[in-house]
């Protein structure tokens, strides 16, 4: 006899059976708290911006204190005073050589810095270079429209500053034993009052070169437009010693 | 960990073998320490009750390296180890490997088995396993897998054993070790040429292994092994002689071998070492790449990859077979051993990265195009180990790029598994798909 009702399959589970729970294959990650993804590039940008803000703030303070009327006369006393103020602010910032280069471009391109006065800017950049951790600093300034004055002011012994591009007046004045290399041209009063060290200008140099220079050497790869009243030191033009030498008339073409 | 000094004891054995018995060059670096892979992995095999395949050119110390390690870990004189080795040749029989009928008793109409030394002692060395017919290879590996040795209607059970098998590269006299058998080995390592200068020293010092020989203890052990008492009763007697030999070694060469209770303690300590999250996520990543197939559900040796598959850049596209379930346990087993030896509290990604190539090399079947592409690459390792190391490097790079996201995906997987209302994370790696599959399996 066939059963009239088709038997249905039933699962019998003993009432006192302890159920086996499915094992969580990710159990060990239960307590893992994912970190919010932060890209390394974001961190770098944030950090760089914070440093740039500090550098910019120092520059603005320098302008406030030393160029109140937006006029700045290049006199030896004003340069020294401006440098002392710049030193004060620069010492407080932890920066690298790359930040100095960024600051040079920010001077021209950003709205955050309202004005570029080549004199105080040069003094401030010189202070940045002199207090930088790196012994060798390269500033790629060839794209900069403005030629910055006073670069290399008081560059100390053991430092090497290389400028890719041209520089303005008073380049390397008061040099204190460092090595300043200009890949382009330098304007007037280069090396004025320098006490030691070396200035290398790959192209041409302007008038009053080495005015009241007390020591050190200036090498010029191109032409020296005119020498200043030099007290001590040497000036070479295309490997030829021009001071001390036969021709020592200031600001004369030779 | 490390308070009982077992790690220093193990490193002492490593140093002694490395400096006096098995001249070698270090060929692997872990956490700034350089090791010779053949000795290190043999040491871990002995301590971890593993199965190791040692490959290499004839005469480069494949068998001797295993013998030295086993002698010092298990306190067996070299003569006993030699007497218990199975040598691979086509005429090898079950009677010579496992046991034979007791002919005296048989004459009296009784059935009894005389077990071979190989089946009785914990150290199992098979010389040239690839010269054995496949049936005999299978018989040994089955026995070692289960720890049971059966003959006629009798059985002995080894509760402590390890296997070392050596294999020459393919030549006229060798059979192949078939894939399912090869998979049973936890690791494969090469016993390498130590270089002309060290090889020259080996030539000068012919009897360097006599320090591990001792005729009296060898006779005593042979006597115990031959005796007609039950196997379970032989073990304590054997250990007694082994301990005496261990004391002799300590006096004679200054190396303290491990006693049975030491080895048990070490194994318990190793078992307690767990993987940290990175080690776990990285291992899962490796396993996913070795088993994943988007089109056919998993890798199968009989199926080929589709042209233009999205996962072309991953390891699954370069290999033919699927990772077995023995692979993760081999990885964990040896990584635990390594972390313990280096006195680390957890297994981290470095332990895993160091171990994986040796657990993978013999298990992966690479596609022909991959083999022909990399065959001529400049390398220091035998081809299978080189390929496995390269694969680990590639996966490590991928892991570095997405470790946080991957761990997030696994953490969310855990939350979903516990009933949380989360969406699984998306990502471009087979492991994300595997996580989803596990979650979907749970939901359905």
Q: Each residue of B93-105: b (16+ CB within 10 Å) or e? A: eeeebbbbebeee
Tell me whether residue B380 is in a domain.
yes
Whether the per-residue pLDDT at A218 is higher than 50: the answer is: yes
DSSP assignment string, A133-196:
S-SEEEEE-TT-SSPPTTTTTTPBTT-EEEEES---TTTTTT-EEEEEEESS-B-TTTTTT--E
- Of the ranges A136-150, B84-98, B179-193, B310-324, which one carries the lowest mean pLDDT score? A136-150
What mean pLDDT do residues B158-183 have?
Answer: 81
Joined tokens for residue B409? 């995906």
Tell me whether residue B299 is in a domain.
yes
A32 and B417 in contact by Cβ < 8 A? no
Same domain membership, residue B285 and residue B249? no
- Cβ contacts (< 8 Å) between A28 and chain B: which residues? 275, 277, 280
Of B320, B352, B349, B316, the closest CA to residue B334 belongs to B352
- Cβ contacts (< 8 Å) between A33 and chain B: which residues? 411
B404 and A35 in contact by Cβ < 8 A? yes
Same domain membership, residue B434 and residue B333? yes
Last residue of one domain, picked from the residues B229, B258, B287? B258
Whether the per-residue pLDDT at A247 is higher than 80: the answer is: no
Best mutation target, B288, B332, B404, B439, to test chain A (most A CBs within 10 A): B404
Q: How many CB atoms lie within 10 A of CB A40?
A: 7
CB B406 within 8 A of CB B285: yes
Joined tokens for residue A24? 């969580």
The minimal CB distance from A29 to the residues B405, B414, B442 is found for: B414
Same domain membership, residue B252 and residue B345? no
Count the domains in chain B.
2
Tell me whether residue B31 is in a domain.
yes
Same domain membership, residue B302 and residue B248? no
User: What count of residues does chain B have?
Assistant: 444
Which residue is closest to B419 within chain A, CA to CA?
A24
Same domain membership, residue B383 and residue B246? no
Average of per-residue pLDDT values in chain A: 81
The predicted structure's pLDDT at residue B88: 92
**Domain of B371?**
274-443
Domain boundaries, chain A: 49-63+72-243
Q: How many CB atoms lie within 10 A of CB B7?
A: 17
| Contacts of A102-107 spanning 24+ positions with Cβ under 8 A | A102/A48, A102/A52, A103/A52, A103/A55, A103/A56, A103/A59, A103/A128, A104/A139, A104/A141, A104/A144, A104/A148, A105/A143, A105/A144, A106/A52, A106/A56, A107/A59, A107/A146
Alpha carbon dihedral B12, B15, B16, B21, in 10-degree steps, equals 150
DSSP assignment string, chain A:
---SSPPPP-----TTPPPPPPP-TTGGGTT--PPPP--HHHHHHHHHHHHHHHHHHHHHHHHHHH-TTS-----HHHHHHHHHHHHHHHTT----HHHHHHHHHHHHH-SSS----HHHHHHHHHHHHHT-S-SEEEEE-TT-SSPPTTTTTTPBTT-EEEEES---TTTTTT-EEEEEEESS-B-TTTTTT--EEEEEESS-B-SSBTTT--S-EEEESS-B--B---SS-EEEETTEEEESSS---TT---
Same domain membership, residue B45 and residue B154? yes
Same domain membership, residue B328 and residue B245? no
Task: Name A131's Cβ contacts closer than 8 Å, sequence gap at least 6.
Answer: A87, A90, A91
Which residue is closest to A36 within chain B, CA to CA?
B404
Chain B positions contacting chain A at CB under 8 Å are: 275, 277, 280-281, 404-405, 407-408, 410-411, 413-415, 417-418, 435, 438, 442
Which residue is closest to B415 within chain A, CA to CA?
A30
Strands B28-30 vs A136-140: parallel, antiparallel or unpaired: unpaired
Rounded-to-integer distance, Cα A138 and Cα A105, Å? 14
- Cβ contacts (< 8 Å) between B411 and chain A: which residues? 26, 29-30, 32-34
Tens-digit pLDDT profile for residues A63-82: 888 766 555 666 667 888 88
A32 and B277 in contact by Cβ < 8 A? yes
Tell me whether residue B33 is in a domain.
yes
Same domain membership, residue B175 and residue B289? no
B414 and A37 in contact by Cβ < 8 A? no
Whether the per-residue pLDDT at B421 is higher than 60: the answer is: yes
- Confidence band for A250, pLDDT divided at 50, 70 and 90: low
Sheet with A176-182: list strands edge to edge. A136-140, A160-164, A176-182, A196-201, A217-220, A234-237, A240-243
Same domain membership, residue B254 and residue B278? no
ipTM: 0.81
Whether the per-residue pLDDT at B66 is higher than 50: the answer is: yes
Whether the per-residue pLDDT at B80 is higher than 80: the answer is: yes
Best mutation target, B408, B409, B425, B442, to test chain A (most A CBs within 10 A): B408
Choose between A121 and B54: higher pLDDT.
Answer: B54
- Confidence band for B179, pLDDT divided at 50, 70 and 90: confident
CA atoms within 13 A on the CB side of B441: 11
What mean pLDDT do residues B114-128 have?
Answer: 95
Interface A:B, Cβ pairs < 8 A: 44
CB B97 within 8 A of CB B139: yes
Give the distance from CA B174 to its chain's centroid. 22
CA-based diameter of chain A, in Å? 139
Choose between B444 and B432: higher pLDDT.
Answer: B432
CB A226 within 8 A of CB A252: yes
Is B417 exposed, middle or buried, given 0-12, 13-18 or 19+ CB atoms closer than 10 A? buried
- Confidence band for A140, pLDDT divided at 50, 70 and 90: confident
Same domain membership, residue B297 and residue B244? no
Same domain membership, residue B409 and residue B293? yes
The predicted structure's pLDDT at residue A17: 46
The predicted structure's pLDDT at residue A120: 83
Rounded-to-integer distance, Cα B344 and Cα B336, Å? 9
Rounded-to-integer distance, Cα B70 and Cα B60, Å? 18
The predicted structure's pLDDT at residue A180: 95
Of A189, A236, A252, the closest CA to residue A244 belongs to A236
Best mutation target, A21, A22, A23, A25, to test chain B (most B CBs within 10 A): A25
- Cβ contacts (< 8 Å) between B415 and chain A: which residues? 30
The predicted structure's pLDDT at residue A254: 40
Rounded-to-integer distance, Cα B407 and Cα B305, Å? 28
Average of per-residue pLDDT values in chain B: 92
At B346, give phi and psi (nearest 5°): -135, 160
Tell me whether residue B283 is in a domain.
yes
The predicted structure's pLDDT at residue B200: 80
Whether the per-residue pLDDT at B83 is higher than 90: the answer is: yes
Output the domain CATH number for residue B168: 3.40.50.300
What mean pLDDT do residues A150-174 have?
Answer: 92
Whether the per-residue pLDDT at B170 is higher than 90: the answer is: no
The minimal CB distance from B411 to the residues A22, A34, A37 is found for: A34
Whether the per-residue pLDDT at A13 is higher than 60: the answer is: no
The predicted structure's pLDDT at residue B172: 52
Same domain membership, residue B247 and residue B283? no
With 0.90 as the threshold, say if the pTM is over it: no
Rounded-to-integer distance, Cα B374 and Cα B438, Å? 35
- Cβ contacts (< 8 Å) between A40 and chain B: which residues? none
The predicted structure's pLDDT at residue A52: 86
Tell me whether residue B210 is in a domain.
yes
Joined tokens for residue A153? 């002011």
The predicted structure's pLDDT at residue A8: 47
Whether the per-residue pLDDT at A146 is higher than 90: the answer is: no
The minimal CB distance from A29 to the residues B405, B410, B442 is found for: B410
């Amino acid at each position: 006899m066939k059963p009239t009702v088709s038997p249905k399959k039933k699962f019998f589970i003993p009432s006192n059976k302890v159920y086996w729970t499915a094992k969580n294959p990710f159990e060990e990650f239960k307590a893992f708290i994912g970190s919010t993804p932060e890209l390394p590039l974001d961190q770098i940008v944030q950090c760089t911006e914070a440093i740039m803000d500090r550098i910019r703030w120092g520059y603005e303070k320098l302008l406030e204190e030393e160029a109140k009327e937006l006029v700045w006369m290049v006199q030896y006393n004003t340069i020294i005073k401006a440098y002392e103020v710049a030193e004060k602010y620069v010492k407080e910032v932890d920066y690298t050589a790359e930040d100095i280069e960024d600051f040079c471009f920010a001077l021209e391109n950003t709205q955050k810095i309202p004005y570029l006065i080549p004199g105080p800017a040069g003094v401030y950049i010189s202070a940045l270079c002199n207090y930088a951790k790196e012994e060798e600093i390269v500033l790629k300034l060839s794209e900069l429209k403005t030629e910055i004055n006073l670069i290399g002011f008081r560059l100390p012994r053991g430092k090497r500053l290389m400028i890719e591009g041209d520089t303005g007046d008073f380049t390397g004045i008061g040099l204190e034993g460092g090595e300043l290399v200009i890949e382009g041209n330098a304007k007037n009063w280069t090396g004025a009052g320098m006490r030691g060290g070396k200035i290398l200008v790959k192209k041409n140099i302007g008038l009053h070169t080495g005015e009241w220079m007390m020591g050190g050497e200036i090498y010029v790869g191109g032409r020296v437009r005119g020498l200043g009243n030099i007290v001590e030191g040497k000036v070479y033009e295309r490997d030829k010693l021009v001071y001390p030498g036969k021709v020592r008339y200031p600001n004369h073409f030779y | 960990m490390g308070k009982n000094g077992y790690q220093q004891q193990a490193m002492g054995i490593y140093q002694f073998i490395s400096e006096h018995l098995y001249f070698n060059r270090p060929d692997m670096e872990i956490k700034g320490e350089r090791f010779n892979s053949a000795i290190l992995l043999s040491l871990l095999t002995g301590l971890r009750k593993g199965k190791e395949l040692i490959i290499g050119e004839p005469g480069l110390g494949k068998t001797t390296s295993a013998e030295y390690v086993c002698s010092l870990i298990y306190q067996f004189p070299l003569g006993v180890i030699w007497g218990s080795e199975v040598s691979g040749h086509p005429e090898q029989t079950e009677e010579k490997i496992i046991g034979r009928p007791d002919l005296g008793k048989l004459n009296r109409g009784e059935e009894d088995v005389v077990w071979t030394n190989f089946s009785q002692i914990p150290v199992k060395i098979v010389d040239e396993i690839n010269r054995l017919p496949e049936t005999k290879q299978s018989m040994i590996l089955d026995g070692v897998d289960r720890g049971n040795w059966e003959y006629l209607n009798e059985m002995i059970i080894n509760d402590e054993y390890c296997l070392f098998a050596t294999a020459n590269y393919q030549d006229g006299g060798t059979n192949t070790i078939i894939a399912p058998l090869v998979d049973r080995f936890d690791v494969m390592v090469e016993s390498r040429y130590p270089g002309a200068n060290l090889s020259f020293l080996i030539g000068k010092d012919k009897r360097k292994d006599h320090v591990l020989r001792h005729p009296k203890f060898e006779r005593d052990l042979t006597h115990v092994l031959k005796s007609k008492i039950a196997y379970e009763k032989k073990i304590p007697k054997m250990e007694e002689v082994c301990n005496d030999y261990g004391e002799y070694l300590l006096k004679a060469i200054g190396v303290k071998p491990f006693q049975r209770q030491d080895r048990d303690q070490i194994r318990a300590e190793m078992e307690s070492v767990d993987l940290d999250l990175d080690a776990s996520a990285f291992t899962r990543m490796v396993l996913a790449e070795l088993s994943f197939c988007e089109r056919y559900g998993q890798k199968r040796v009989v199926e080929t990859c589709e042209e233009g598959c999205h996962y072309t850049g991953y390891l699954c596209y370069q290999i033919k077979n699927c990772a077995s379930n023995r692979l993760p346990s081999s990885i964990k087993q040896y990584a635990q051993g390594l972390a313990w030896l280096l006195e680390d509290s957890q297994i981290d990604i470095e332990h895993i990265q160091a171990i994986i190539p040796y657990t993978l090399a013999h298990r992966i079947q690479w596609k022909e195009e991959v083999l022909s592409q990399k065959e001529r690459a400049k390398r220091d390792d035998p081809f299978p180990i080189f390929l496995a190391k390269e694969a680990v490097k590639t996966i490590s790079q991928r892991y570095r790029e997405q470790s946080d996201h991957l761990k997030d995906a696994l953490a969310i997987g855990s939350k979903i598994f516990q009933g949380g209302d989360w969406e699984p994370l998306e990502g471009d790696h087979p492991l994300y798909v595997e996580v989803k599959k596990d979650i979907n399996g749970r939901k359905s």
